[in-house]
Amino acid sequence: MQTQLSFANLSRIETELLAVLATDTQTSKAPDAKPLPVLLTADEAVKAAAAAVLASGEYKAGANETLLLHAPAGLAAKRLLIVGLGKQAKATVNNVRNAAGTAVRYAKPRGIREVVLSLSELLQESAACNVRATVEGAFVGDFDPDTYRSDRKDQSIQSFTLAIPATAGKAAVEAAFAEAVMIGESQNFTRSMVNEPGNKLTPTMMGQRAAAMAAEVGLKCEVSSTEKIKELKMGAFWSVAQGSEEPPALIVLRYEPAGVTEGPVLGLVGKGITFDSGGISLKPGADMDKMKYDMAGGATMLGVMRAIALLKPRVRVLCVVCATENMPDGKAQKPGDLQTAMSGKTIEIINTDAEGRLVLADGLTYAKQLGATHLIDAATLTGACVVALGMINAGAFSNDDATYAKFDAALATSGEKFWRLPLGDEYADMIKSDIGDIKNTGGRWGGASTAAEFLKVFAEDTPWIHLDIAGVAWVEDSRPYIAKGPSGIAVRSILEWVRSY
């Protein structure tokens, strides 16, 4: 998608589709006055073109509600699309992000390949903040998962222009626009990987894609397999990989900005299970096809690293992704087996379907060995987190309040929803093993917290955040602003956390 920024007079822009935002606003102080939609633009010609239909009350400007006008009088645009933000008092920058996605997704199936979206100085947030959200939302809206349809019709938007009043700070707006393009493309890079079927993205192929991306944006990259994993004594990682005919991939990326030799080294660790059958503890057949997305945590970290390489923050970052399949082969580990992790901790295997924490355990240890002073991991880890938070919030855990505060502050910019869940000795007691150090599952209750306590054993005293994205990494039903399929959750949030350093 080609993107550009325009400071031109809105009514004179020639385009297939001009999109303008609107809010549900109380325009009169009379007690019986009803809210009427208000266009967020100072352009009198645009307001005049929509005045009659807005006054009719047919359109309420609800969040992501759309209204299309053909051949709007007084405008050079062929069509005028009005997209609602909802009630003005409750509208946030994330409403703006979603509205941009809604405009793009409205155009796609209608054969409209050119969209101009207007941002107004009437929005409460800063121009730069809204610019970034709008462009990110447009990229999110442009993604569709139908990659392998034989009769696929390319409905992608060819040109997206953001029109903003010339009164806005031009330098700040241009910088925000450029950043947002890099972030939007990186989020869609993650989504494209998560969307791939397990036979089209094996661990080896995931490593190849990581290496190609790294070469493109200038990251250091090393991809190794079985021999290296055994050399490092990654017994937890190998215990999962040993059951698959597909060789595993240990992916390591490094971002080292010139002149930065001191300060923190941020370690990003991702779960890369390219297909999860459950192993010997076989999953039910229903919805097992979705287990191709069990590498979403790893793909998230690769998308973050892509954005980091392009945005060039002044902090060192390394990334470890442990990629493998979890399969029920004759060589696969069994419930009751005992494994020794890279750290030397022994793990009793209670359920082979609790495999994500095993690969993350060695990934966290290795990231520390490579020099990470702060850790963050992401994984589609537990169904228990989905039960607790639904498909609305992702779960977050941390052993350090100051480190988590930086992540929490990043959410205001990213617009993503995370909810901090508890750790504690009581949960740690639930994963104590009679035969070894710990068990890989603590039973049915508190499953998200016991899984996090398992990972905390390997983070040790290093400041650490764990993100359980199981409920939100896949969008179950299409929404006005995003297609059904991979969401790319956490790319924006982790990126802002990195930039906070």
Which residues touch 240 (CB under 8 Å, ≥6 apart)? 248, 273, 279, 324, 326, 333, 355, 358, 359
Mean residue pLDDT across the chain: 96
Q: What are the E-state strand segments in 313-437?
A: 316-326, 338-340, 346-348, 374-379, 394-398, 418-420
* Both structure tokens of 119: 């941002």
CA-to-CA distance for 465 and 443, rounded, in angstroms? 23
* Both structure tokens of 479: 């929404």
Residue among 233, 283, 417, 479 flagged as catalytic:
283
In this structure, is the dihedral angle defined by the CA atoms of residues 362, 368, 371 and 372, taken in order, positive or negative?
positive
CA-to-CA distance for 141 and 153, rounded, in angstroms? 16
In this structure, is the dihedral angle defined by the CA atoms of residues 168, 174, 176 and 177, taken in order, positive or negative?
positive
CA-to-CA distance for 293 and 127, rounded, in angstroms? 36
Number of helical (H) and strand (E) elements in the chain, helices listed first: 14, 20
pLDDT at 31 over 70: no
pLDDT at 27 over 60: no
Residue among 132, 357, 368, 456 flagged as catalytic:
357
pLDDT at 338 over 80: yes
> Scanning the structure block, which residue is given the tokens 């941009």?
100
Using DSSP's 3-state secondary structure scheme, residue 114 falls into strand
Which residues touch 328 (CB under 8 Å, ≥6 apart)? 243, 277, 278, 279, 280, 282, 352
The answer to whether 351 and 299 are in contact (CB under 8 A) is no
pLDDT at 103 over 70: yes
Domain with CATH 3.40.220.10 in the chain: 2-165
pLDDT class of 25 with cuts at 50, 70, 90 = confident
Establish whether 312 is a catalytic residue.
no
CATH topology classification for 2-165: Leucine Aminopeptidase, subunit E; domain 1 (3.40.220)
Quick one: pLDDT at residue 124? 73
In this structure, is the dihedral angle defined by the CA atoms of residues 342, 347, 351 and 356, taken in order, positive or negative?
negative
Establish whether 499 is a catalytic residue.
no
Tell me the angle at which helices 296-311 and 170-194 cross, rounded to the nearest 10 degrees.
Answer: 150
pLDDT at 26 over 90: no
Averaged pLDDT for residues 163-184: 92
What's the pLDDT tens digit per position in 42-59?
999 999 999 999 999 999
Query: pTM (2 decimals)?
Result: 0.97
pLDDT class of 343 with cuts at 50, 70, 90 = very high
Domain with CATH 3.40.630.10 in the chain: 191-499
Closest to 64 in 3D by CA, of 480, 482, 487, 484? 480
Quick one: pLDDT at residue 321? 99
Burial of 476 (0-12, 13-18, 19+ CB in 10 A): exposed
CATH topology classification for 191-499: Aminopeptidase (3.40.630)
